[in-house]
Amino acid sequence: MVDGGSPFGASCTVAADGSSRDGGQAGLTGYSVIEAVSVRDAADKAKGCPVLASGGSVEVYEAIPM
């Protein structure tokens, strides 16, 4: 675990035309950062996330250095 993360609060979605609407399009509720050698490795590690025990789900993304 690199960063235990935090839950997300209020959100909005901004479109390419500059319009916005309440709520995030993806419906994400929080984040955590883990160290893994691949997306598959991260997905395997995510199987231990406590949110799964309550019927939630976990999305896994690779962070790309910019």
Q: Tens-of-pLDDT digits for all 66 residues of the chain? A: 888 888 899 999 999 999 999 998 888 888 999 999 999 999 999 999 988 999 989 999 998 888
pTM listed for this prediction: 0.71
Predicted local confidence at residue 44, as pLDDT = 96
Predicted local confidence at residue 28, as pLDDT = 86
Cα gap 20→17, rounded to integer Å: 9
Q: Which two tokens stand for residue 32?
A: 């955590």
Chain centroid to CA 24: 12
Please work out, in degrees rounded to the nearest 5, the angle formed at the alpha carbon of residue 32 by the alpha carbons of 65 and 25.
Answer: 80
Cα gap 46→33, rounded to integer Å: 10
Predicted local confidence at residue 65, as pLDDT = 86
